[in-house]
Structure 1
Amino acid sequence: MPHPAETSTLKVPGARLYYELRGRGPLLLMIAGGPTDAGVFTDLARQLADRYKVATYDPRGNSRSPLDDAPADQDVDVHADDAARLIAAFGDGDPAFVFGTSGGAQIGLNLTARHPQRVHCLVAHEPPCVLLLDDPSVAIAKDRAILDTYRRDGLQAAVREFMAMAGLDEAGGPADLPPEILETFARIDANMDYFIAHGLMPLSLYRPDIDRLRDAQTPIAIGIGDASNQDAAGPGRALAARLGLAPLAFPGDHGGYGMHADAFAEILHAAFSRNGR
């Protein structure tokens, strides 16, 4: 049975967050990565709305979540505080199941370390925590090269480099895609300037606090796409090793939650079920 989304906004310090709520059950907060927004989770949220109250949102500065002031470099602590406020608003006082992907996984890790009382279980899908690699210099150099390309050659050249590094096709798609998907692609395209200029380096250079994650004793799974390249998957594998975890395999690449939403949803639900769902 379809679960129509309830949409509104939540005022937080420095921004107004657009969010969508679907379904009933324990709260599941999904955190989008990089330049993306709630729209990339539409199919996944629909798959899970018969088992959870699914909250998706546009991270501050992206799409329909405007900043109060001029854009500045993103702060993972601030993003995590936003996530904690959403859980407080919609969780009926209970901790939430949390899924984050890419930069959203970094935010989920920060949320779990700093607000463990808000998180029942976290699934972090391919966090770009490059500082946990044995030798992070190559990955950092790639990120800095993208930023240099942006400053020297402009946005589109930088986007091409970023998409190739992530193992993704460029945002956009055939004109016969459903209007909902085309609208999401258009919003992501419009977010790329803000992301490259102010998000790429801060999100990648965030180092998850391993000690605090262990002390929190919150169940964590680190997801890796079975078709992801080393640039996308390597940092997540490094994090899993630091936490003493076996990576959790998901279908597809860095964006597999969209292309393989049905299978992705079942793996995600199984991970939550092992931890008290």
Structure 2
Amino acid sequence: MTEPETRTHTVEADGATVHYDVRDARTGGAGAGAGEPVLLLIGSPMDASGFRTLASYFPDRTVVTYDPRAAGRSVRTDGAAQTTPEEHAEDLRLVIEALAAGPVDLFASSGGAVNALALVARHPSLVRTLVAHEPPTAQVLPDREAALAICADIHATYLREGTGPAMAKFIATVGRKGPFPDEWREEPAPSPADFGLPTEDDGSRDDPLLGQNMLGCTAFRPDFAALRAASTRIVIAAGKESEGEFAARAAAEVAAALGTPLAVFPSHHGGFLGGEFGQQGAPAEFAEALREVLAASG
């Protein structure tokens, strides 16, 4: 099968120019022909480049990826220092409507899963099936107060000390197994050097994860009433190797609140990655699991 042609487009959102890419497996554009819906793959703050491997396993589908505002090519035009899931949801609405292809199938990972839950609560008619993979919303955790405080501390560390110290705390936080203790402040801060991170502050404060999205994403509480009433089929997923970690625990709580089983996908939080950003998951197995879940919507 030949490699699908890729076209890049933009939509003008409130406060940002959003770039998205269409890998079109059909003749005549994303809205042409019969068959499966467009498959939209999203993360946050990870941009479209993180889905190259996963997209390659769906050559029979029109696949759309995008750069969230303040990440990759999608520059904020309003100078705002933080981005909310509601803003991301409206950006996604614009992208889906610009496709003019009807309801999409949507795979959303990490912060993208949080944004997708916000989208479906507001605009369920735009999405046939949502697979929300490890949404890191601290609000749903039993240990939410400690989790939210830790996320706020990571953001404050970034503003105060820069990328290295903040990212060291972030890595330690997302990889921790089990609930966060109330006395978390008594634990020693991890060293950036232990993770191969810079120890000197370069003065930049434009990181989309630590700056723009950390607080809004983790503090978001899904509208469970709206999600339960949505026409969208919602599947909440977590990686097999992620059990007990922050985002996987949040995924389990979201699934329980929706009254649906948690889908267990291969590998870890980045299980779909095939070397992007130096991370390796199990993309072939991950893609097969995703295909099976989406096929159940047919």
TM-score (norm 1): 0.86
Distance 2:246 2:235 in 1: 19
Is the 8 Å Cα contact of residues 137 and 247 (structure 2) preserved in structure 1?
no
Aligned counterpart for 2:226 among listed residues 182, 197, 212: 212
Query: Which residue number corresponds to residue 5 of structure 1?
Result: 6
- Would you say 1:270 and 2:284 are equivalent positions? no
Segments of 5+ residues of structure 1 without an aligned counterpart are 171-189
The alpha carbon displacement at 1:264 in A equals 1.1
Is the 8 Å Cα contact of residues 31 and 107 (structure 1) preserved in structure 2?
no
Aligned counterpart for 1:233 among listed residues 220, 238, 248: 248
The residue matched to 2:81 in structure 1 has which SS?
coil
Distance 1:91 1:53, change over 3 A: farther
The residue matched to 1:148 in structure 2 has which SS?
helix
Distance 1:49 1:77 in 2: 31
Query: Which residue number corresponds to residue 214 of structure 2?
Result: 200
Distance 1:203 1:96 in 2: 23
| Larger relative helix fraction | 1
Distance 2:205 2:75 in 1: 11
Query: Which residue number corresponds to residue 80 of structure 1?
Result: 89
Distance 1:232 1:70 in 2: 29
The alpha carbon displacement at 1:192 in A equals 6.4
Is the 8 Å Cα contact of residues 27 and 96 (structure 1) preserved in structure 2?
yes
Opposite residue 40 of structure 2, the aligned amino acid is: L
Query: Which residue number corresponds to residue 267 of structure 2?
Result: 252
Distance 2:173 2:51 in 1: 22
C-alpha distance after superposition, 1:51-82 (max 9, x if no partner): x2110000011110111121332121111111
Backbone CA RMSD of aligned residues: 1.9
C-alpha distance after superposition, 1:221-256 (max 9, x if no partner): 111011114212111100011111111111121111
Distance 1:191 1:256, change over 3 A: farther
Opposite residue 53 of structure 1, the aligned amino acid is: T
Segments of 5+ residues of structure 2 without an aligned counterpart are 27-35, 177-191, 193-203, 274-280
Q: Percent identity?
A: 37
Pairwise mapping of residues 42-61 of structure 1 onto structure 2 (< 5 A)? 42-50=52-60, 52-61=61-70
Is the 8 Å Cα contact of residues 225 and 256 (structure 1) preserved in structure 2?
yes
Distance 2:6 2:171 in 1: 30
Opposite residue 238 of structure 1, the aligned amino acid is: E
Aligned residues between the structures:
253
Distance 1:151 1:71 in 2: 15
The alpha carbon displacement at 1:191 in A equals 9.0
Distance 2:249 2:114 in 1: 14
Distance 2:11 2:42 in 1: 15
C-alpha distance after superposition, 1:115-147 (max 9, x if no partner): 011010100000012111123112112212212
Distance 1:41 1:61 in 2: 18
The alpha carbon displacement at 1:112 in A equals 0.6
Query: Which residue number corresponds to residue 195 of structure 2?
Result: none
The residue matched to 2:241 in structure 1 has which SS?
coil
Pairwise mapping of residues 66-215 of structure 1 onto structure 2 (< 5 A)? 66-92=75-101, 94-167=102-175, 193-215=207-229
Distance 1:46 1:239 in 2: 29
- Would you say 1:31 and 2:39 are equivalent positions? no
Is the 8 Å Cα contact of residues 157 and 166 (structure 2) preserved in structure 1?
yes
